[in-house]
Amino acid sequence: MNSVLRGNKTPLLEMRGIEKSFPGVRALKGVDLTLGRGEVLALLGENGAGKSTLIKMLGGALQPDRGSIRIDGFEVTLANPKNAIAAGIGIIYQEFNLIPGLPVWENIFLGRESSKAWIGRGEERRRTRELFELIGVSIDSDALCGELSVAQQQTVEIAKALSQDVRLIVMDEPSAALTPQEVTYLFKIIRDLKQRGIGVIYISHRLDEIFEIADRVLVLRDGETVGESSIEQLTRQRMIEMMVGREIQNEFPKHHHTVGKARLTVTGLTRGKSVQDVSFEIRSGEVLGLTGLVGAGRTELARLIFGADQPDSGSIAIDGVQTKIRSPRDAIAAGICLLTEDRKGQGLILGASVRQNFGLPNLPRLSVYGFVRERQERQAFAGYVSQLKIKIPHQEELARNLSGGNQQKVVLAKWLERQADILIFDEPTRGIDVGAKYEIYLLINELAKQGKAILLISSELPEIMGMSDRVIVMHQGRITGEIKDVAAATPEQIMELAVAAT
Amino acid sequence: MMAKTKNNLLANPFIRDYGMVFMLLLLAVLFSFLTLKEQHPTGADAGRQVAERILKQSTGSANVLIVTRDIPEDIAFADAAAHRLETGGAKILGRVAGDASDARTAIESIIGEGKQIDAIAANQVTSKWTVYDRFPTVGAAKCVVPESYSWPDFLKVSNLLGVANQTSIYAIIAIGMTMVIITSGIDLSVGSLVALASVVTAILIRDLGGGTSAGFLIVVVAGTAGIGLCALAGAFNGLLVTKFQVPPFIVSLGMMMMASGLSYRLSGGRSIPELPSSFFWLGGGQTWGIPNPVLLMIILYVIAHIVMSRMVFGRYVYAIGGNAEAARLSGVPVKLVLLTVYTICGTLAGLGGIVLTSQLSAGDPKFGLMYELEVIAAVVVGGTSLMGGQGKIFGTLIGAFIIAMIKNGMNLTDIDPFNQKIVLGAVLTGAVLIDTFKRRGGGK
């Protein structure tokens, strides 16, 4: 049956030469994408490869700068989400657009209720039941959406799309929040959609799933199509190579650290599904790299160690001594600091001066009887300004007026002044220019040389491989592997662990 | 960056930090100009001045009659004049303290005794009496009055002190409110806490200390209990905000109703005037010529300014308002600081209630009505942003005085109360608008 549908000459969806630029970034540099009827196309790529941008165009949330989108051979303009729905495109985002307090049938018909409400209710209920029958699931159409499981909510989203007579459905990491059983259930639905000639664009980092459900694979990297192939002609090795692609240049300063005793020992740390039974140690003078895909639980792990969130179970030992960390304040007192991933949202108080930002965690030391010793504060900060080459007109400059690199240096300065022994760097170079990046790398090496234990969290494989003495990889809240000899490892090896092949 | 150039007048640090002071001075000049009037001095100073003039124009010993009304400032005038005249060698023929008929009787008896009146020491009012012209040997020409001068009603010391005295309670409560708003919270319960402190203190004095005969100790204990209860209410607000993450608006709205209901219940809705005179010192007394509430306000503002600008606690308060999560991740004990801030706010509201009770000589559940809005208005006009993280303690003091001055000025220039409300509303809206522009000018 599939072959019959695919036999139709004009593809269901055809995107040609799609380009899109944002200030400072060329997100898409001429991407082509074709989808046939009843076909499942897997869209692959690293974080930031351009997948989301492409999807948003199909949903009408973004418009291409150049290029065309055709459906059934007819060019369409998707200026807004309404256009997209009218063109028969349904998008299931990672965050569902369901209202928890409303019953399923109302959610499905939200925004396009029948004009005569008293007739509509029965009608809409009936149609909801029919939809569920059609895709072969049993969900109570009167249940409140908030009471459904994640998988059921997803099904409601799919049913909602189907009720709008969609021709193609885009699923953005639909399996991310699902259990294996629920994934099976999802695949059953996808196969059913295929049978009915609906095209599916499936985005996932889980290679196993792609082999199971996809007909064809399209790989994006840095906004370009780097490979397109039917699934039969692909090996998992080849797929990873296409995703990682770029060569790792020697943009990282060399380092030789003498590693000492264990500084931080984490045992069985668990919080919900985001961090599960994580154990590792960092030694004095060691840079431990931690990587994984977005949502793997890296930042969540960092927050647990720092006391920003509380673990369900597990323990933390510092220098071999079990330590209870109930709050960031405890963590700081125990000699741990966290350079947060979200610099502007969590690292800095943008409306305060850089000096005050610098002083914040150091006030207990920079004060007598509760009075801030501003002169000491000024002097201490001035030292870091010259040491870290922070470019500021004066110490009273507001943090928000600094460039990303300088902001990061202010955050670094405040933690260096704390003289913490355990430093957690969560994406320390994100959004920072090359020069400042290099300075931060040098600083990380210098800190390691001083015998500090450093946990370097990063999505950038070259950075992780260039800076770490040892690398651990997380996937879905668990550590899926450790690479002791980083020099001998390949990016493919790490990627393999990050998508959790084994 | 682009927005910065757009509103650079408001983004200018000088305007930003001193604009409010400038505004206050401008208002003072405006109202001085509008209320400029002929002023007639009264009291002791005026009495001495009149005596000097009489002594100067008469050679040797003059026979003087002093004519005033029977009111305290006129008595003071007469006493001072008499004293100065006697020491200067003049002879006091008599003193009249009453109305025109009293003056007539006095003059008749002096003439009856065959004495001559060289001068009459009078003031602006008594010199206008027509009684003098009935006596050919006396005549209005013999009246000597203090010299009048031009001076704005607004700038009279008594007016300014009155404004300060009336503003002091709002201003004291506004200290706590400023701190709360800097943490990006709000406390709507302060008005009701004023009433609660007032009622609780008055009831304790009446029932434990015997009302008007209560001793000083019991007054202190009762006042402390009233303030303490408000501190507890503030702490309760803080607890709900921190521990249970209830929005401050709702928490304090609930407290506002509960505290108000409680004060009506405790007092039975009635005023409680049975208070000893020792209690009135706080609100009605003066120290070094300054009303005590004003002095208390100044002291509290100096302390609060030091706490907020020089101490770790103040840094923490600003940090929490700027970005609570970043502050927490920098080791700021966010919950403890918030709890303290709400407690301070409740405490100061309680203190305000005690001062008001003392000023008005009674405990009353109707006190403090709408104070929360007056106080919030003072804070906002004073340049503290409702978004949190920004604001100055002395800005609030200036804000409170800007509002008080506008009210006072409008009263002095006879603007009717309905229009006054419109003006005050416009001022508040304008202050928030300025805050919005400053925000845009300062960055994102």
pLDDT digits (tens, 9 = 90+) for B89-116: 777 777 777 877 777 787 778 777 777 7
d(CA A385, CA A393): 11
Positive or negative: CA dihedral B399, B404, B406, B409 = negative
Q: What is the mean pLDDT of residues B179-184?
A: 93
Which residues from A are below 8 Å from B386, CB to CB? none
- Lowest average pLDDT, out of A437-446, B212-221, B232-241, B247-256, goes to B212-221
pLDDT digits (tens, 9 = 90+) for B17-71: 667 777 788 888 888 888 787 777 777 777 787 777 777 777 667 778 788 887 7
- d(CA A124, nearest CA chain B) in Å: 38
* Measured torsion, CA atoms of residues A412, A414, A416, A419, in degrees rounded to the nearest 10: -150
pLDDT attached to residue B252:
92
Residue with tokens 């294996």: A180
- Axis crossing angle, helix B334-360 with helix B292-310, rounded to the nearest 10: 170
pLDDT attached to residue A119:
55
Which of the two residues, B6 and B224, has the higher pLDDT score? B224
Which residues from A are below 8 Å from B330, CB to CB? 328, 332, 360-361, 414
pLDDT attached to residue B224:
92
Question: Within chain A, which residues score under 70 in pLDDT?
Answer: 1-9, 23-25, 46-48, 111-120, 176-177, 179-180, 244-251, 253-256, 431, 433-435, 501-502
Q: Do A363 and B312 touch (CB under 8 A)?
A: yes
Which residues from B are below 8 Å from A400, CB to CB? 443-444
Of all residues in chain B, the one with the smallest CA distance to A364 is: B312
Closest residue by Cα to residue B401 from B186, B105, B84, B167: B167
Of all residues in chain B, the one with the smallest CA distance to A355 is: B315
d(CA A260, CA B220): 64
Q: Do B329 and A347 touch (CB under 8 A)?
A: yes
Q: Do A350 and B325 touch (CB under 8 A)?
A: no
pTM, two decimals, is 0.70
Residues B358 and B199 sit within 8 Å (Cβ to Cβ): no
Of all residues in chain B, the one with the smallest CA distance to A400 is: B443
Which residues from A are below 8 Å from B389, CB to CB? 349, 351-352
- Phi, psi (rounded to 5 degrees) for B300: -65, -40
Which residues from A are below 8 Å from B182, CB to CB? none
Which of the two residues, B2 and B348, has the higher pLDDT score? B348
Q: Do B322 and A351 touch (CB under 8 A)?
A: yes
Q: Does ipTM exceed 0.90?
A: no
Whether pLDDT at B233 is above 50 = yes
Of all residues in chain A, the one with the smallest CA distance to B318 is: A352
Out of A329, A370, A400, name the one closest to residue B313 (CB): A370
Query: Which of A329, A343, A374 to mutate: most B Cβ within 10 Å?
Result: A329
Whether pLDDT at B148 is above 80 = no
CB pairs under 8 A between A and B: 83
Which of the two residues, B6 and A159, has the higher pLDDT score? A159
Residue with tokens 């000899």: A485
For β-strands A66-71 and A13-22, DSSP reports them as antiparallel
Burial class (CB in 10 A: 0-12, 13-18, 19+), A427: buried
Q: What is the mean pLDDT of residues B369-398?
A: 87
Q: Do A372 and B442 touch (CB under 8 A)?
A: no
Q: Do B315 and A356 touch (CB under 8 A)?
A: yes
Q: Do B323 and A364 touch (CB under 8 A)?
A: no
Q: Do A352 and B322 touch (CB under 8 A)?
A: yes
Out of A349, A401, A414, name the one closest to residue B443 (CB): A401
Length of chain B: 444
pLDDT attached to residue B443:
39
Closest residue by Cα to residue B397 from B156, B157, B153, B177: B177
Q: Do A364 and B312 touch (CB under 8 A)?
A: yes
- d(CA B340, nearest CA chain A) in Å: 15
Which string of DSSP letters, residue by residue, matches A195-248?
A: HTT-EEEEE-S-HHHHHHH-SEEEEEETTEEEEEEEGGG--HHHHHHHHH-SPP
C-beta atoms surrounding B139 within 10 Å: 13
Would you list which residues of chain A are within 8 Å, Cβ to Cβ, of chain B? Answer: 306, 308, 327-329, 332-333, 338, 340, 345-352, 356, 359-361, 363-364, 367, 370-372, 374, 398, 400-401, 414
Which residues from A are below 8 Å from B318, CB to CB? 352, 356
Of all residues in chain B, the one with the smallest CA distance to A361 is: B330
pLDDT digits (tens, 9 = 90+) for B186-222: 999 999 999 999 999 988 888 887 777 777 788 888 8
Which string of DSSP letters, residue by residue, matches B31-83?
A: HHHHTEEEE---HHHHHHHHHHHHHHHSSSPPEEEEEE-SSHHHHHHHHHHHH
pLDDT digits (tens, 9 = 90+) for B264-319: 998 888 888 888 887 888 887 788 878 889 999 999 999 999 999 889 999 999 99
Q: Do A338 and B328 touch (CB under 8 A)?
A: no
Which of the two residues, B8 and A165, has the higher pLDDT score? A165
- d(CA B396, nearest CA chain A) in Å: 20
Strand order in the sheet with A25-35: A25-35, A13-22, A66-71, A74-75
DSSP letter, residue A69 = E
pLDDT attached to residue A437:
76
pLDDT digits (tens, 9 = 90+) for A76-101: 888 888 888 888 898 888 777 788 88
Whether pLDDT at B373 is above 80 = yes
Which residues from A are below 8 Å from B333, CB to CB? 327, 329
- d(CA B288, nearest CA chain A) in Å: 31
Q: Do A329 and B442 touch (CB under 8 A)?
A: no
Out of A332, A346, A360, name the one closest to residue B325 (CB): A346
Query: Among the residues of A14-67, which ranges form H helices?
Result: 51-58
pLDDT attached to residue B15:
61
Out of A340, A351, A363, name the one closest to residue B315 (CB): A363
Q: Of all residues in chain A, what percent are helix, strand and coil, respectively (each to 5)?
A: 40, 25, 35
Which residues from A are below 8 Å from B315, CB to CB? 356, 359-360, 363, 372
Query: Which of A349, A415, A425 to mutate: most B Cβ within 10 Å?
Result: A349
Q: Do B326 and A347 touch (CB under 8 A)?
A: yes
Percent of chain B whose predicted confidence (pLDDT) is above 90: 29
Whether pLDDT at B160 is above 70 = yes
d(CA A474, CA A304): 15
Average of per-residue pLDDT values in chain B: 83
Which residues from B are below 8 Å from A372, CB to CB? 310-312, 315
Out of A340, A370, A372, name the one closest to residue B329 (CB): A340
Q: Do A371 and B311 touch (CB under 8 A)?
A: yes
Closest residue by Cα to residue A106 from A91, A120, A90, A92: A120
CA angle A373, A376, A377 (to 5 degrees): 80
Would you list which residues of chain B are within 8 Å, Cβ to Cβ, of chain A? Answer: 310-313, 315-316, 318-319, 322-323, 325-333, 389-390, 442-444
- d(CA B311, nearest CA chain A) in Å: 4
Q: Do A370 and B311 touch (CB under 8 A)?
A: yes
